[in-house]
């Protein structure tokens, strides 16, 4: 279940990567085994060349057996090529499939966060972090497979071969490797801070760029292109500075590595030549020492670069997990109760809720809305109207008390099961950059085309949709920018109609409509609301004039409660708000 603690994403890069290796143990095990075998064959090719040269150095050329070493030499080359291609095929399937799993898991965990979390982070930055994490993990797997495992295998193979030639040379190679490894690892650990700083700054800068592009209308409307360019220039400059520090640390590591390997290669070759001159080793031994030394020289250079690259990518993953993998504020119960069928009775039982910064919104708040009742929530800004509808959807949890739907506490239900019983029409309709048909069908994915058309007719948007060049197949643009505010609002209402849930929440659902359209929607809502529970937040009081009940909220408490006609007769706060709006309409 999404949001349960058992599905938590590991918050450390090592555990995060190991999670996916364990998910495909045979694939990764087979991949690494094939790569080790391929690298081993590469070392064996060098040994086959040694045997061939030693055979060719025999004084009796006619009796010399050069064919067996040649067969081994060619056989190992063929086996190496086959194994590398097999490794490429396995790696392609395994690494790419793992990347898909990572992105899906990160998306699932990200969408399980509360809405408060999303209000604290840039949407573009969060999306970039998912892509960056998958890219970094894929790079690490590829680096480990093709840039770390082969040189390590080469080194181990070289040690075994040198043991057959001269144990002292094998011991010296091990000592050189330990010195180089300690130097490189030490520099790598010292560089984690600069690599992490670069990853963090890069994510922040990308988020700011997406934020500006997403608000390009505002940038143009306020003649702010120059200001935003200067602001982004400063951000890019800071990011470039962080990148430069990370890059230069990499170059320092390469310098240390190159010096160490130059000393190693020169020493091993000099030693081999001295032993050959003394007759201790053969010409083939000198050749294989030379070949293995230079192979290790180049392989270790790739290894050092790969280790630093992996360190950078680990820092990128760590930065992303620090933001995305934090525990959820709102969790599903384990196990969750099945949602009981019902008409949508809503009950607040002595509920208290405060914002994270401590500001009190509701205190000992109680309210019962019978099934099928239409209730309007009105009052000044900050009175708690939006908080109430947010808590009904369990977008956040209360600190004390219970909220029940048809007698079940919200905390006993899986969040998706709870929200399946609720249709919402928010003030700002969010549409996907998809055809209109898909945007309406989002309310009920299994709905037929005719059911979508019927919902559109109820929302009085079928007419304008069919007048569009591609009708219901028209792409609406990012967040519906190709449509007017009223058109987007009607599509949102049509989507809620199609969902056909027992509870309908309207958050300023007619705010973007003109008077004629509002009257049409009110008529449609009256038909839709039959037998359903409706909770509506309204600043335009005409929206709730035909409701069964209006709650006037002030500072998180119910100041007035009754039928709108009765409240107007009382001459209280509702009547005052009504008169003010009536005067405003008259002035227009």
Per-residue model confidence as pLDDT tens digits over 237-294:
988 988 888 888 877 777 877 787 777 777 777 887 888 777 777 777 777 777 777 7
Compute the average pLDDT of residues 113-131: 80
Per-residue confidence (pLDDT) for residue 161, from 0 to 100: 79
Residue that the structure tokens 């809720």 belong to: 353
| Confidence category of residue 298, pLDDT binned at 50, 70, 90 | low
Q: What's the pLDDT score for residue 521?
A: 67
For residue 350, the model assigns a pLDDT of: 93
Angle between helices 192-214 and 123-143 (to 10 degrees): 140
The Cα–Cα gap between 28 and 34 comes to 10
Confidence of residue 535 (pLDDT cuts 50, 70, 90): very high
Whole-number pLDDT of residue 586: 45
pLDDT at 283: 74
The C-alpha atoms of residue 22 and residue 25 are separated, in whole angstroms, by: 5
Q: Would you state the pLDDT for residue 583?
A: 61
Winning range, highest mean pLDDT, from 120-124, 127-131, 476-480: 127-131
Residue carrying structure tokens 């006037």: 552
403, exposed or middle or buried, with CB in 10 Å at 0-12, 13-18, 19+?
A: buried
Q: Using one digit for the tens of pLDDT, what is the confidence trace for 23-49? A: 999 999 999 999 999 988 888 887 777
Band (pLDDT 50/70/90 cuts) for residue 518 is low
**Residue 28: burial class (beta carbons within 10 Å; 0-12, 13-18, 19+):** buried
Contacts of 331 (CB under 8 A, 6+ apart): 3, 4, 5
Give 583 or 174, the one with higher predicted confidence.
174
What's the pLDDT band for 102 if we cut at 50, 70, 90?
very high
Class of domain 346-587: alpha beta
Tokens of 513: 């409509």
Q: Where do the CATH 1.20.1560.10 domains begin and end in the chain? A: 5-324
Q: Where in the chain is the domain with CATH 3.40.50.300?
A: 346-587
Is 60 exceeded by the pLDDT of residue 303?
A: yes
Pick the closest to residue 498 from 448, 446, 438, 455 (CA basis): 455
pLDDT band at 347 (very low <50, low <70, confident <90, very high): very high
- Round to whole Å and give the CA distance between 383 and 401: 19
pLDDT confidence band for 511 (50 / 70 / 90): low
Longest alpha-carbon distance in the chain: 124
CATH superfamily of 5-324: ABC transporter type 1, transmembrane domain (1.20.1560.10)
Q: What's the pLDDT score for residue 4?
A: 42
Residue 5 binned pLDDT confidence (cut-offs 50, 70, 90): very low
The pTM assigned to this predicted structure is: 0.73
Lowest-pLDDT choice from 61-65, 163-167, 179-183: 61-65
SS3 436: helix
Place of tokens 């055979």: 55
> Is the model more confident about 192 or about 201?
201
Greatest mean pLDDT among 87-101, 213-227, 513-527 lies in 87-101
**Mean pLDDT, residues 7-16:** 84
Q: Is the predicted pLDDT of residue 416 greater than 50, yes or no?
A: yes
Distance between CA atoms of residues 185 and 300, nearest Å:
13
**Residue 555 CB-density burial (10 A; 0-12 exposed, 13-18 middle, 19+ buried):** middle
pLDDT in the model for residue 281 = 75
With a cut of 50, say whether residue 428 has pLDDT above it.
yes
Q: Is the pLDDT of residue 180 over 60?
A: yes
pLDDT for 584 equals: 53
* Lowest-pLDDT range of 11-25, 294-308, 367-381: 294-308
Contacts of 110 (CB under 8 A, 6+ apart): 126, 130, 324
Q: What is the pLDDT of residue 481?
A: 65
Tens-place pLDDT, residues 56-66 = 776 666 666 77
- The mean pLDDT value of the chain amounts to 82
């Amino acid at each position: 279940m999404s949001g349960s603690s058992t599905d938590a994403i590991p918050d450390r890069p090592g555990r995060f990567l190991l999670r996916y290796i364990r998910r495909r143990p045979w694939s990764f095990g087979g991949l690494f085994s094939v790569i080790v075998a391929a690298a081993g064959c590469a070392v064996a090719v060098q040994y086959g060349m040694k045997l061939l040269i030693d055979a060719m150095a025999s004084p009796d050329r006619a009796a010399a057996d050069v064919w067996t070493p040649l067969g081994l030499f060619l056989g190992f080359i063929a086996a190496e090529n086959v194994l590398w291609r097999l490794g490429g095929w396995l790696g392609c399937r395994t690494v790419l499939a793992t990347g898909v799993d990572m992105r899906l898991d990160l998306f699932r965990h990200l969408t399980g966060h509360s809405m408060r979390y999303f209000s604290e982070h840039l949407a573009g930055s969060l999306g970039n972090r998912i892509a960056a994490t998958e890219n970094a993990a894929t790079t690490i797997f590829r680096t480990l497979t093709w840039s770390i495992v082969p040189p390590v295998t080469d080194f181990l193979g070289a040690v075994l071969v040198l043991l057959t030639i001269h144990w002292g040379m094998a011991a010296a190679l091990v000592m050189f490797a330990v010195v180089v490894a300690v130097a490189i690892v030490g520099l790598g650990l010292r560089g984690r801070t600069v690599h992490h700083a670069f990853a963090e700054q890069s994510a922040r800068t990308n988020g700011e760029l997406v934020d500006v592009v997403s608000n390009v209308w505002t940038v143009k409307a306020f003649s702010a292109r120059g200001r935003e360019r200067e602001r982004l220039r400063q951000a890019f400059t800071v990011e470039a500075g962080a990148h430069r520090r990370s890059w230069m640390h990499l170059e320092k590591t390469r310098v240390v590595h190159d010096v160490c390997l130059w000393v190693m290669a020169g020493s091993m070759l000099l030693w081999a030549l001295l032993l050959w001159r003394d007759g201790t080793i053969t010409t083939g031994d000198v050749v294989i020492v030379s070949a293995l030394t230079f192979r290790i020289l180049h392989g270790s250079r790739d290894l050092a670069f790969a280790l630093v690259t992996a360190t950078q990518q680990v820092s990128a993953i760590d930065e992303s997990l620090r933001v995305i993998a934090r525990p959820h504020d709102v969790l599903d119960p384990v196990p969750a109760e099945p949602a009981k069928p019902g008409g949508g009775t809503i009950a607040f039982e002595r509920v208290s809720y405060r914002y994270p910064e401590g500001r009190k919104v509701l205190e000992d708040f109680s309210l019962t809305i019978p099934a099928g009742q239409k209730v309007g929530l009105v009052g000044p800004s900050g009175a708690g109207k939006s908080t109430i509808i947010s808590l009904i959807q369990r977008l956040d949890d209360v600190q004390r008390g219970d909220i029940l739907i048809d007698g079940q506490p919200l905390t006993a239900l899986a969040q998706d099961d709870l929200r399946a019983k609720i249709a919402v029409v928010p003030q700002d309709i969010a549409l996907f950059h998809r055809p209109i048909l898909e945007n309406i069908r989002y309310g009920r994915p299994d709905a037929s085309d005719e059911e979508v058309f019927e919902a559109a007719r109820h929302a009085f948007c079928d007419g304008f949709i069919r007048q569009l060049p591609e009708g219901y197949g028209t792409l609406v643009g990012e967040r519906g920018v190709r449509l007017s505010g009223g058109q987007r609002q009607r599509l949102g209402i049509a989507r809620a109609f199609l969902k056909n849930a027992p509870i309908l929440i309207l958050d300023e659902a007619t705010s973007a409509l003109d008077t004629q359209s509002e009257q049409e929607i009110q008529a449609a809502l009256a038909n839709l609301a039959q037998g359903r529970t409706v909770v509506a937040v309204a600043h335009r009081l005409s929206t709730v004039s035909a409701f069964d009940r209006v709650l006037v909220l002030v500072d998180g408490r119910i100041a007035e409660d009754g039928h709108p006609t009765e409240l107007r007769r009382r001459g209280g706060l509702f009547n005052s708000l009504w008169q003010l709006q009536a005067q405003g309409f008259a002035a227009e």
